Structure 1
Amino acid sequence: MIGSGIFVSPKGLLERTGSVALSLIVWASCGILSLLGALAYAELGTLVDASGGEYSYFLEGFAPGKTRRTWWGPIPAFLYAWVSMFLLKPSSLAIICLTCAEYFVRIFNTGSSDCAPPDLAVKLFAVFVIILITFINSYSVNLATKVQNIFTAAKLLAILIIVIGGVVKLAQGNTQYLATGFKGSTSSLGDIATAFYSGLWAYDGWNNLNYVTEELKKPYTNLPRAIIIGLPLVTVCYLLVNVSYLAVMSQEELLASETVAVTFGNRVLGWAAFLMPLAVTLSTFGAANGTAFTSGRLCFVAAREGHMVDVLSYVHAKKLTPSPALLFNASIALLMVIPSDIGSLIDFFSFTAWIFYGGAMAALIIMRYTMKDAPRPYKVPIFIPILVLIISVYLVVGPIIDSPQIEYLYASLFIVAGLFFYFPFVYMKKSIPGMGHLTTFFQLLLQVVPTNTMPDA
């Protein structure tokens, strides 16, 4: 979860809440909401022990048994796969890689944090990161896992530098910026909802383990354990980081900074200021690697179910990695790097994502009745998914009512547009002329095969 969000979201969240105290409350609330959602997902992940995350839960919740063969049953799962593969997962990868690139360029310009780096340099490095991460994940699952473990240390280093620096400043009596409290707080429900968009982006990833349930060791034990330990720890880290930012910068200075961690480093670290953008670069690289890893599994599972073209469900004949799915996700992400507007991408991502997070809560509630006798190694109180469902409805509807934006209309239309592909190509099983030859071409080019031809299948 710790990746780009904590280094780009504080500005947007503070701007939308209007005050220091309210911003900290929203940060804590985002952590609590993510924890509640993750606990509900822990039940989903141990009840439906298949990779694919929400996609698998929508199939089991809204299309159980014979319903899966009806025209309407698989629609929620298909629409989630459609939106995730073409919008959510690529945009997430693009945001993280753009943040990684921006901080990498800042390593060579730490002395003047207010001077924006060349836009072309940021985009080119973001493209390089996407290509490198896709290669790593396509080459070896073990290599991708090792990269994730190594760069997790960099994430914690970046957080540690900021927290220690903030504690030192607070000990020196720098509390004047925190003392402003609720001064300037917004009263707009729409602003608070979009502030949650910024905060929840920093916590996004709380559901990533559910995409690789099939590859987890002892998922019934390790999935809930990872959530119960990880979410409170990240919430505390994020609160301490924001307090540290505000121990060094005023509200106005934080809002004026494009890379808040670099500004923090320049104020606190002196000659070692370069360590801050370096640590953030390493942190975001690790987050991008994790995003690519889970995105490929979603695409793979959807194609295996027949909801995407067959070649996306193939794996490398020797490496056993879902390389076609990984390459597809990377290709869309490369296109999203072109506009490079991180703030708009975050709002677009969060608005759309919470439609489906709410859908997953609805699926869990339904499965409490349709799968009463199914073994549940982990079970949450029913009020948790109900509460998260209600909050997700608010997060989607609140901004539309209070301050409608054209981006929300685009997102809604994109979801509905999936139906124009669902009926002919999924339900009626029509095929595009020449698709068989194209599949064969990619099989030979990428050296991939269907999973049912593998020796251990």
Structure 2
Amino acid sequence: MAYLRKGRTREPPPQPQPSSNLSKSVSLLGGLALTAGGIIGSGIFFTPYSIFNFSGGSVVIALSVWIGAGLLALAGGLCYCELGCSMPESGGDYVYLHRAYGPLPAFLFVWSAIFLGRPCAQAVVTLPFAKCLVSQIFEEPTDGAVNFAAIVTTVVLGLVNSVDVKAAVRVQSFLLVFKVASLLLVVFAAFFYWFRSGESGCLFDGSSSSSHLSAGQIGMALYAALWAYDGWANLNYALGEVPNPEKILPRAIGLGLLVVIGCYVAVNISLFVFLTKEEYLSSDATILLIGTKFLGSSTASIVVPTFMGIFCLGTANGMCLLGARLIYAASRKGQFPAFLGLIHADFATPVPAVCFHTLLCCFYILLGSFESLLEYTSVLAWIVFGLGFLSVYVLRVREPQLRRPYKVFGALPGLMILASVYLVFVPLVMNPKTFLVVLVFVPGCFVYYCVIQGRLGLLKSVNDYFLNLTKRLGKLN
């Protein structure tokens, strides 16, 4: 490991660019699947209740929040188009933070994302699919059986992403088609029931009048909606595998988010047409209420969770692919062990990085109680996004000669910086404990100054051993 040597250095030595070593397997359809397919997940099943509740039961405000959050995600995606087209490397935020602010902020981000944010999030979305799978075998599945199924699912996804990126992207594309078709089926079912029964929901009962809300309530509603839109920057993490990022990235992000916004707004309108205000607020699984009325409680209790599990499987597949690319990018820049940045000669995939990410996901599944950590990592994510938006201006000033095939409208990054600040402080005001997220940086700083800058030079031999061992185990370079 080049950076694990005695003596001090301000920055790790330059590493070879990874992009040329990875398989260029992500087409426009694949990019669309990684973007839209990564966004549409379990959030659409549970978030409508939270947003309607935070909106004070106002249909107009709730729909405005869904549309506004979608437009914010689209604006953020356009900002990241400029960054991605200028720096078409795998790694996403890590690449942009490293170039704009230097190695320390980039390492602190990658430290928190690799060991906490990415594997924890994938574990959360894998468990519903595993529970759905086990429920088909046992009437009352135990936690152990669910965890075992989740680990098997995680390992299978890791194998697919290790052996063939094209196969992983094809799975993502198929699941995207399934998700969109399923949401359109929900919309059709709601309107069909409404026309057939003549019963009207809260869209027509006066609930559309605005009520007095605090800035904190609107902020929390927006925060919940943006969680459902999370994943708009997914493709930036796999740009090293996109053959023509200058064209594919803006198209994939633009088309993907328009598809998601259209689906989300259509589903919510159908919910407001179908359900009364009391029914809407009676359960946090609002889509289950549609299934219950249309299919009956016994059938809906099987069909809806099954669909939700499949939605989660698509999200988990995308998280596996992108989480491994973050590890790979950090290793190639000398901030993680070098053997994690190796690529399989035949598969052209970062197999060690995929395996490491898979092991971390399995650890969180076995850990069990980790869902509360996501509230803290969401705050951290918007801190990183804010720095990413700011890096657009930083790099325009510092590197005006940098080639920018796509350039976003000048005021848009500024708007997104303000939105990021707002979305960081709202949770802190509503729940001051979320400020504890900064504690994740404490061990990160220790590792950076003691290991990355070479004060623990004895670890170099350990890294060299694993590097040579990994190369001997397979066709890795």
For residue 18 of structure 1, what is the aligned residue in structure 2? 56
Q: Distance in 2 between matches of 1:107 and 1:25?
A: 39
Alignment partner of 1:360 out of 388, 399, 404? 388
CA deviation after TM superposition for structure 1 residue 293, in Å: 0.6
For residue 175 of structure 2, what is the aligned residue in structure 1? 151
User: Residue by residue, what CA displacement relative to the aligned partner does 1:18-70 show, whole Å, maximum 9, x if unpaired?
Assistant: 324232222111101100000001111111111110111112222xxxxxxxx
Question: Which stretch shifts more, 4-13 or 432-441?
Answer: 432-441
For residue 48 of structure 1, what is the aligned residue in structure 2? 87
Tell whether the 8 Å contact from 2:127 to 2:147 is kept in structure 1 after alignment.
yes
Q: Distance in 2 between matches of 1:145 and 1:192?
A: 36
Q: Distance in 2 between matches of 1:189 and 1:340?
A: 34
CA deviation after TM superposition for structure 1 residue 327, in Å: 2.0
Question: Which stretch shifts more, 217-226 or 115-124?
Answer: 115-124
Q: Structure 1 residues 338 and 152 mapped into 2: Cα distance closer, same or farther (>3 Å)?
A: same
For residue 187 of structure 2, what is the aligned residue in structure 1? 163
Q: Structure 1 residues 352 and 102 mapped into 2: Cα distance closer, same or farther (>3 Å)?
A: farther
Q: Distance in 2 between matches of 1:297 and 1:100?
A: 24
| Mapping of residues 334-413 of structure 1, within 5 Å | 334-338=362-366, 344-401=372-429, 403-406=430-433, 408-413=434-439
Q: Say if 2:254 is the partner of 1:211.
A: no
CA deviation after TM superposition for structure 1 residue 142, in Å: 2.0
Question: Which stretch shifts more, 381-390 or 247-256?
Answer: 247-256
For residue 133 of structure 1, what is the aligned residue in structure 2? 157
Tell whether the 8 Å contact from 1:61 to 1:367 is kept in structure 2 after alignment.
yes
Q: Say if 2:117 is the partner of 1:88.
A: yes
Q: Say if 2:215 is the partner of 1:189.
A: yes
Q: Structure 1 residues 123 and 157 mapped into 2: Cα distance closer, same or farther (>3 Å)?
A: farther
For residue 200 of structure 2, what is the aligned residue in structure 1? 175
CA deviation after TM superposition for structure 1 residue 429, in Å: 6.0
For residue 75 of structure 1, what is the aligned residue in structure 2? 104
Q: Structure 1 residues 367 and 174 mapped into 2: Cα distance closer, same or farther (>3 Å)?
A: farther
Tell whether the 8 Å contact from 1:157 to 1:279 is kept in structure 2 after alignment.
no
| Mapping of residues 430-449 of structure 1, within 5 Å | 430-431=456-457, 433=459, 435-436=462-463, 439-440=466-467, 443=470, 447=474, 449=476
Question: Which stretch shifts more, 236-245 or 261-270?
Answer: 261-270
CA deviation after TM superposition for structure 1 residue 299, in Å: 0.7
| Aligned residue type for 2:474 | Q
Give 3-state SS (helix, strand or coil) of 1:347's partner.
helix
Tell whether the 8 Å contact from 1:198 to 1:346 is kept in structure 2 after alignment.
no
Alignment partner of 2:361 out of 333, 343, 351? 333
For residue 288 of structure 2, what is the aligned residue in structure 1? 262
User: Residue by residue, what CA displacement relative to the aligned partner does 1:168-209 show, whole Å, maximum 9, x if unpaired?
Assistant: 234344433233535795734333333333211211111011
| Mapping of residues 254-333 of structure 1, within 5 Å | 254-257=280-283, 259-270=285-296, 273=300, 274-333=302-361
User: Residue by residue, what CA displacement relative to the aligned partner does 1:210-241 show, whole Å, maximum 9, x if unpaired?
Assistant: 11112112111111111221212211111111
Q: Distance in 2 between matches of 1:432 and 1:196?
A: 49
Q: Distance in 2 between matches of 1:177 and 1:342?
A: 36
Alignment partner of 1:245 out of 231, 255, 271? 271
Q: Structure 1 residues 152 and 435 mapped into 2: Cα distance closer, same or farther (>3 Å)?
A: same
For residue 29 of structure 1, what is the aligned residue in structure 2? 68
Give 3-state SS (helix, strand or coil) of 2:409's partner.
coil
CA deviation after TM superposition for structure 1 residue 277, in Å: 3.2
For residue 7 of structure 1, what is the aligned residue in structure 2? 45
Tell whether the 8 Å contact from 1:130 to 1:334 is kept in structure 2 after alignment.
yes
Q: Structure 1 residues 395 and 107 mapped into 2: Cα distance closer, same or farther (>3 Å)?
A: farther
CA deviation after TM superposition for structure 1 residue 343, in Å: 6.1
Provide TM-score, normalisation by structure 2: 0.82
**Percent sequence identity over aligned pairs:** 32
| Aligned residue type for 1:38 | G
CA deviation after TM superposition for structure 1 residue 261, in Å: 3.3
Question: Which stretch shifts more, 422-431 or 135-144?
Answer: 422-431
CA deviation after TM superposition for structure 1 residue 146, in Å: 1.8
| Aligned residue type for 1:330 | T
Q: Say if 2:137 is the partner of 1:98.
A: no
Q: Distance in 1 between matches of 2:344 and 2:71?
A: 40
**Unmatched 5+ stretches in structure 1:** 63-72, 110-114, 451-457
Q: Distance in 2 between matches of 1:444 and 1:338?
A: 30
Cα RMSD of the aligned pairs, angstroms, is: 2.8
Tell whether the 8 Å contact from 1:20 to 1:251 is kept in structure 2 after alignment.
no
Alignment partner of 1:220 out of 225, 235, 246? 246
Q: Structure 1 residues 289 and 189 mapped into 2: Cα distance closer, same or farther (>3 Å)?
A: same
User: Residue by residue, what CA displacement relative to the aligned partner does 1:361-389 show, whole Å, maximum 9, x if unpaired?
Assistant: 01111111112122211111111110001
Question: Which stretch shifts more, 256-265 or 17-26?
Answer: 256-265
Give 3-state SS (helix, strand or coil) of 1:423's partner.
helix
For residue 426 of structure 1, what is the aligned residue in structure 2? 452
Provide TM-score, normalisation by structure 1: 0.86
| Aligned residue type for 1:133 | L
Tell whether the 8 Å contact from 1:186 to 1:192 is kept in structure 2 after alignment.
no
Q: Structure 1 residues 426 and 117 mapped into 2: Cα distance closer, same or farther (>3 Å)?
A: same
Give 3-state SS (helix, strand or coil) of 2:372's partner.
helix
Tell whether the 8 Å contact from 1:9 to 1:198 is kept in structure 2 after alignment.
yes
| Aligned residue type for 1:101 | A
For residue 124 of structure 1, what is the aligned residue in structure 2? 148
Q: Structure 1 residues 415 and 421 mapped into 2: Cα distance closer, same or farther (>3 Å)?
A: same
Q: Structure 1 residues 328 and 52 mapped into 2: Cα distance closer, same or farther (>3 Å)?
A: same
Give 3-state SS (helix, strand or coil) of 1:205's partner.
coil
User: Residue by residue, what CA displacement relative to the aligned partner does 1:61-101 show, whole Å, maximum 9, x if unpaired?
Assistant: 22xxxxxxxxxx31111111111111221122122212323
Q: Structure 1 residues 337 and 209 mapped into 2: Cα distance closer, same or farther (>3 Å)?
A: same
| Aligned residue type for 1:135 | L
Q: Distance in 1 between matches of 2:262 and 2:63?
A: 11
Tell whether the 8 Å contact from 1:197 to 1:347 is kept in structure 2 after alignment.
no
Q: Structure 1 residues 86 and 195 mapped into 2: Cα distance closer, same or farther (>3 Å)?
A: farther
Q: Structure 1 residues 404 and 272 mapped into 2: Cα distance closer, same or farther (>3 Å)?
A: closer
